[in-house]
Structure 1
Amino acid sequence: MVKHIRGIVFDLDGTLLDTLETLAAAHNEALARHGHPPRPVDAYRYYIGNGARKCVERSLPQDARDDATIDAVTASFKVIYDDAWRQGTQPYEGIPELVTRLRERGYALAVLSNKDHPFTQKIIEHFFDDGTFDAVQGHSDAVPHKPSPVGIQHIADTLDLPLSALTLVGDTRVDMETAVAAGIDGVGATWGFRDAAELTEAGATCLIDHPVALCSQLGIS
């Protein structure tokens, strides 16, 4: 992994930003508006990762997972979260230091999220300085949700790098499955929403317990 990597692609939720409590609160408010019970915050560690609609589906009671209900609760969630996403969300400890080091060393940096593309851009622009990331990609009509490798290929094209020069850093199974599907290294971030066992089972090339530990994997100080 050391010699050939020239670009680092980061997942957003649970990797760059600690969004768990904010997302859980917004989802629970959406559930309540439609008469459904809230879920524990920690349950959202396993609901989040495949886009807002899938998270809503997972959080609903089994007997309420029809398309109309899922669509209605998802629409409410998006309105709530659009107003609340700044509250309680922040970069994980070590992330600002990591991205600074990587930029100083000449690595291209990118973000790939299952959030909608415009929203992904808005969040990155709020929490990170201009120019921190060379490419930011969320879900769109042209870019399916992860684990499709289309987003990784789109980022590679934007960065003008071969896929083999990229690695993906993420905290969930879907991130590691995306890396496997794209044929690139996947670095499991154990500070995020899921545990080391899941990341390893999903195909992680290696695991790191703190953002700055990525530097050691890349052979830089």
Structure 2
Amino acid sequence: MVNKVALGLLLAVVGGGIAAGTYIGFQYAGSADRTIGPAGAGTTTATPTATPTPAPTPTPTATPMSSQSIDRAAVETAVADRINAERRSRGQSELYRLDALREMARFHSENMATQGYPSHAAEGYNTAERYERFDLADRCRFPDDTGTGTREDDAIEVYERVTAGPDGTTADELAATIVSEWFDDSESETILTYENANQLGVGAAVTDEGRVYVTVDLC
């Protein structure tokens, strides 16, 4: 009889333990998907919201100016003034403007504009042939700065092409770009700073697309 009572008590204890373990297991499983927040409060994990990426802003393209807005005579004057300013800064004499040289320089700039690219040769004329055509070949030879040679033909001419708009919007801005290019180039700088040169002609031509061709010839 005593053995039956003891066996009954044992079964009751074991059964109670199993039930308690099952209840605790359910409680633990139920809390697995919950996050403990402040003061032990249960909070759900929020899904982050994607931030939209702004579309890139296109870079504006500079538009060339029309030829009607560019005064070529003003460009020619501004170029000559800036060349003389560079010479004065070096203690050199200014170059006087010669109409015949200007006409020859304009002739070359117009020919470069027609062919579409800058070069000493344009529309069938090289530098020597242009000086001959305008009766300036004999007059415009002069000794180089060392006194050991003669400067003539390509050695007394520079040229450049710029675009109105990206390279400047006024005659003075365009001239600044052009003359800076020349004085940043050692060969062009040498030509424009000859001690024995005393005259120059600046000629410009402007295309319908706003391309500005400029030639400087020395004497």
* TM-score, length-scaled by structure 2: 0.22
Q: Which has the larger radius of gyration?
A: 2
**Larger RCO, structure (CA 8 Å, separation 6 or more):** 2
* TM-score, length-scaled by structure 1: 0.22
